[in-house]
Chains A and B, each alone.
Chain A
């Protein structure tokens, strides 16, 4: 005890401790620098490697996303073009089917018109110059010869009669021509109308062709992978995602309403006291029923080719597909009927429960009249909701497709952000290491100064530069970093 007390001072001298510490730090300077800077570099490289890996993954995701987007866009464009061609086909078929009739009708009308025209062209013979002849005959001097006078008189009378007859014939002929010309007017109108119809049909086809051209342009633009087209598709996917999500929320609300309408009365079928897991059996069965309604709706939409989630259904034979659609519709109607009956039962059970509770509470029961309006409303709602839920397949399909794109974009953004954070962290760690070495040197700067004083030689600036250039270590070593950081290079024998 005495020996120990004599060996150790009662209180250590802080200055001595500090000097020892500085000495140790000075001796360990090189190792410290190497360790810290090396660790920082290793960390930065590792993080950069991670960032590069994430960047690659992000690129792949973006590439895949673009492929999906383009494929989806092409599919949509193809669908649009196909639909327009279908419409054109329908229009052409319809018009061509009526074209033969139209042509025959126009030909008939034109023939009639030609005939009428030809008949109207037949000009009646001009009236002979009866007046002059009569006047000439009348002016012949008969010299009071009774015979000559009689003959002349007769000739004059005959000539006047023929004159009247000719005028009459001329008038009849003119009237017939006018009648023909009058009859030609509606025929012309008919021809004009038929030609207008043809013109309208051609105009419709032209419009369709313009739409096809526009869609084809979009199609080609998408196919070429144009950045603008891809961005437009991406934006469209985001919009679809939001809109479809909103519709799906509405559908979820409808499902909840439907569930509440059928869950309670379902206990009349399944019993009220049994449970599947933590849930009542009646509630589970009601939920299953709603899910089946949704599935049926999905299949109905698939068989009608409104949605295309299951290519197998879309590729089915048309007759089989139609049969399937009818069957699914019948099943859906049956389920809607069951739901409606359950809603009716629910109304009765609720009324009965209320009456029972009143009885149990000792309240005198008022004469209860069950409103048929509420019953009918509930039944109608329960019957309608399955069909409304069936339509959920449309936004569901849109949502699924859009979710793929939106999720891809989100993951790509997250990867990008993570890569950035990793790079930043790597740089920060590396720079922190440099900062730590600087602080370290700052702490032991008296010894460093002493070292520089002791080892200083009166060299000229030129020699110093030469020495520096010859003793410059390879790039990337600790000494380089030290120099870059403005520290004096370490000397092996600097201790």
Chain B
């Protein structure tokens, strides 16, 4: 009888350790476009990263990447981490990430380019590598792509299971309503994203981020399409 108890206990604990894991992890890549005139966006990005750090759970992944260069590569990654499965270690990782994000603005200088397409392609690669169930790309940009003249190309996106969240910039002084407004650019990007089987959503309020990531363990609901 005692053996049965011990076996049951061990099976319970071992079952916990080696359970058939249902992947419910979340992976998010933050794409930062930091032109010189967009200082407030960096602050917003920091706030959003703090929110994400608070909401992400062990085994989730977070990466922050710059897209203010022409071309995209590993050098653009500002910080990246996959949280440990133990909450205490995950907390230490979050602190380290927060620290690196705090020191980032001192080193960051706005670039002359803005490679949003390259950033999205790189982010998709990173997200797929994590194998997470929920994949998000957060874009802090005015959605104006500024590439080198010899860099112009349009690769179709493969964004199945990826949701792209475009953070509406707070400062739109350089928008020309007559010519090419932010809304028009957002519509074009949305078309591109949806053509690549991805989901598009514009975020006007940071609270929406909290809502999206807090409900991460609930069954996925179809996101409301942006107008």
Which residues of chain A have a CB within 8 Å of any CB of chain B? 264, 266-277, 281-282, 284-285, 288-289, 292, 295-296, 299, 324, 327-328, 331, 335, 348-349, 352-353, 356-357, 359-362
Q: Which of B33-65 contact A (CB under 8 A)?
A: 50-51, 53-54, 57-60
CA distance A276 to B95 in the complex (A): 29
Partner of B12, one of A277, A288, A324: A288
Residue of chain A at shortest CB distance from B25: A273
Which residues of chain B have a CB within 8 Å of any CB of chain A? 1-2, 5-6, 8-9, 12-13, 15-17, 19-22, 24-25, 50-51, 53-54, 57-60, 85-88, 90-91, 94-95, 98
CA distance A111 to B6 in the complex (A): 67
User: Nearest-CB distance from B65 to chain A (Å)?
Assistant: 20
B19 and A275 contact, CB distance less than 8 A: yes
Candidate in A264, A281, A295 with the most chain B CB atoms within 10 angstroms: A281
Interface residue SS majority, chain A: helix
Residue of chain B at shortest CB distance from A316: B1
A267 and B86 contact, CB distance less than 8 A: yes
B25 and A352 contact, CB distance less than 8 A: no
In the complex, given contacts A273-B24, A360-B53, what are 6 additional A-B residue pairs having Cβ atoms less than 8 angstroms apart?
Answer: A276-B19, A281-B16, A335-B9, A353-B91, A356-B95, A359-B98
Partner of A272, one of B15, B90, B94: B90
A-B contact pairs, 15 of them (CB 8 A): A267-B58, A267-B86, A268-B87, A270-B19, A271-B58, A272-B87, A275-B22, A284-B16, A285-B15, A295-B8, A299-B5, A328-B2, A335-B9, A348-B88, A360-B51
> Assuming the A-B contacts A281-B19, A295-B5, are A271 and B59 also in contact, with contact meaning beta carbons closer than 8 angstroms in the complex?
yes
> Assuming the A-B contacts A267-B86, A356-B91, are A282 and B16 also in contact, with contact meaning beta carbons closer than 8 angstroms in the complex?
yes
Partner of B2, one of A289, A292, A324: A324
B21: chain A residues at CB < 8 Å are: 273-275, 281
User: Nearest-CB distance from A388 to chain B (Å)?
Assistant: 19
Residue of chain B at shortest CB distance from A330: B2
Residue of chain B at shortest CB distance from A283: B16
CA distance A5 to B198 in the complex (A): 72
B16 and A270 contact, CB distance less than 8 A: yes
Residue of chain A at shortest CB distance from B55: A360
Residue of chain B at shortest CB distance from A334: B9
A276: chain B residues at CB < 8 Å are: 15-16, 19-20, 22
CA distance A324 to B3 in the complex (A): 11
User: Nearest-CB distance from B183 to chain A (Å)?
Assistant: 32
User: Nearest-CB distance from B40 to chain A (Å)?
Assistant: 16
User: Nearest-CB distance from A213 to chain B (Å)?
Assistant: 40
Residue of chain B at shortest CB distance from A299: B1
CA distance A343 to B178 in the complex (A): 63
A348: chain B residues at CB < 8 Å are: 88
User: Nearest-CB distance from A298 to chain B (Å)?
Assistant: 11
Partner of B9, one of A269, A292, A357: A292
> Assuming the A-B contacts A267-B87, A272-B85, are A292 and B58 also in contact, with contact meaning beta carbons closer than 8 angstroms in the complex?
no
> Assuming the A-B contacts A270-B17, A273-B25, A292-B8, are A361 and B50 also in contact, with contact meaning beta carbons closer than 8 angstroms in the complex?
yes
User: Nearest-CB distance from A345 to chain B (Å)?
Assistant: 8
